[in-house]
Amino acid sequence: MNVLDDCEARADQAPHAPVAARFRSRGTGEVGATCKDTIRLRLLLLPGFSHLSLSSFVDPLRCANAVTHDRLFEWQTFGLGGSPVASSSGIAVEVGANLDSCEDEQKSALVLFGGDHIEGQSSRRLIAFLRRQARSNVAIYAIGTAAWLLAEAGILRDGVRRTIHWTKLAALSETFQDETAEDALFVRDGNITTCAGEFAAFDLAAEIVENRFGSDLAHRICERLIADRWRSGESCQSIPLGLRFTGAAVKLLQVVNLMEKNTEDPLPLDEIACRASLSRRQVERLFEKHLNTTPRRYYMSIRLEKAKQLLETTNMPILDIAVACGYLSSSHFTKSFKDHFRTLPSRLRATMMGRSTTT
């Protein structure tokens, strides 16, 4: 009999057990805790982390404790040093200890919160720490942009599924050539869970509660936090704004997904329509009805948005960015970029470099 079977057997024998005990008897297990254990988390805050991601992840767990009148979850904040860590909003959060103390608590899951300028935050000390955690089979959760550090540490090896905040999706794929990030809210692969962050951190926390303690408690948390539901991790980050609440254009989302996955070698519209089991005219009508544009213009905007992300977040040469976004010449790319964003690629990069030197 495994731990969870034993939990359920004892719960059946004790129908008048406290509410927390009843919740503990459900679920499939999470972050290595047994039914008797409080789930302990180490929250490692990286400079510039998203305050929204932190609150979205922690508050559902706090609410689980409040609803059950028990300590289902406990957490402690850590920083690279012992000083308060400033979030992207400028609000500094006190931390309980530094990275050395964080390593001493290997029985707890590790939750990394990344944010702005994650590309420049790796160090030998941090990378070595992450590798030791992975070798020890610690459950690791990378929230927001923190998956970037796991990639740098070689933890996201070939075959490991992962995601990252959409602003870093293109940069992650281009910088780590063997990495293919998924457009998803969160992805779990073994002991590694990566999450896009922001409100997706809430969805991840709700699923942790559901997996460990059952859907009843997860629904009660949503009710208390005035959330009508939580989303599946497989939900896309990049659903066009005009489609987020319609629920009526599954085929259009399929077409958009094909476009996003084929930016370096753009697909002809006829092939896209065929793959989506639609006619060319049906695809055109879907874009006109739901997005008020043509498939060609929308496809071009996807490619140019990717180019903008790469200009802002990588040091790739402009010609390489043009090729990565399906342009055969830098002149054609420059003209299209200027028409779309009203600025030159080189000018945007210079502006971003100027901002980075002043922060």
Whether 204 shows a pLDDT value over 90: the answer reads yes
Q: How far apart are CA 118 and CA 228, in angstroms?
A: 32
Whether 70 shows a pLDDT value over 70: the answer reads yes
Size (the chain), residues: 359
Return the pLDDT at 173: 86
Nearest to 37 by CA among 47, 52, 49, 27: 27
Helix, strand, or coil (residue 338):
helix
pTM of the full structure: 0.76
Domains in the chain (CATH in brackets) are 3-224 (3.40.50.880), 241-358 (1.10.10.60)
Comparison of pLDDT for 126 and 160, the residue scoring more: 126
| Burial of 69 per CB tally in 10 Å (0-12, 13-18, 19+) | exposed
Whether 274 shows a pLDDT value over 70: the answer reads yes
DSSP letter at 145?
T
Q: How far apart are CA 241 and CA 291, in angstroms?
A: 9
Question: Which amino acid makes up residue 48?
Answer: G
Q: How far apart are CA 144 and CA 307, in angstroms?
A: 21
* Percent of the residues in the chain that have a pLDDT greater than 90, as a whole number: 62
Rounded to the nearest 10 degrees, the angle between the axes of helix 200-213 and helix 51-68 is 30
Return the pLDDT at 242: 54
Who's near 239: CB < 8 A, 6+ residues apart? 253
Comparison of pLDDT for 243 and 191, the residue scoring more: 191
DSSP letter at 83?
S
Which strands, in side-by-side order, build the sheet including 140-143?
73-78, 39-45, 109-113, 140-143, 192-195, 186-189
Measure the CA angle with vertex 28, ends 190 and 61; round to 5°. Answer: 90
Q: What is the mean pLDDT of residues 168-189?
A: 84
Return the pLDDT at 17: 45
Q: How far apart are CA 311 and CA 305, in angstroms?
A: 10
Lowest mean pLDDT among 64-68, 113-117, 201-205: 113-117
Whether 319 shows a pLDDT value over 90: the answer reads yes
* Percent of the residues in the chain that have a pLDDT greater than 70, as a whole number: 84
Measure the CA angle with vertex 329, ends 323 and 334; round to 5°. Answer: 95
Helix, strand, or coil (residue 299):
helix
Whether 219 shows a pLDDT value over 70: the answer reads yes
